[in-house]
Amino acid sequence: MGIKTLTIIFILFAWSRIALRVKKGNARMLELLFWTIIWFAVGFTAIYPGTTDIMARILGVGRGFDAAVFFAILILLYSVYRIYFKISLLQQEITRLTRELAFKDAEKK
């Protein structure tokens, strides 16, 4: 099998996971839309790899692959930032709830 075929199979699998989560109510339609756009872009560039060369020319990068890797790294870094921020908020909320429970427990005694 070629890389294009493997990429399309993976995209369909990954997209089906988020679609099932939406169907079960564990994810929002906005997430499905976001991932649909991302996976469509990945699939489009897998089928038509020359499109990354156009993007590279616009960005002033030598090769289309370099431009694609650049964007992938940016997306990954932003995702890590968002996850870090959400974990930080969760830690603050857990601390607040723990203090609240401790005060309620102390009042009972």
With 0.75 as the threshold, say if the pTM is over it. Answer: no
Q: Tell me the per-residue pLDDT of 33-82, one tens digit each, with 9 for 90 and over.
A: 999 999 999 999 888 888 888 888 888 888 888 888 888 899 999 999 99
Provide the residue ranges of all domains of the chain, joining segments of one domain with +. 1-48, 65-109
User: Could you tell me the maximum CA-CA distance found in the chain, to the nearest angstrom?
Assistant: 71
Residues 6+ apart with CB under 8 A from 14: 35, 39
pLDDT tier at 107, thresholds 50, 70, 90 = confident
pLDDT tier at 108, thresholds 50, 70, 90 = confident
pLDDT for residue 1 is more than 80: no
At 54 the pLDDT is 86
Nearest-CA neighbor of 52 among 72, 34, 36? 72
At 71 the pLDDT is 85
Q: Look at 48 and 20; give whichever has higher pLDDT.
A: 20
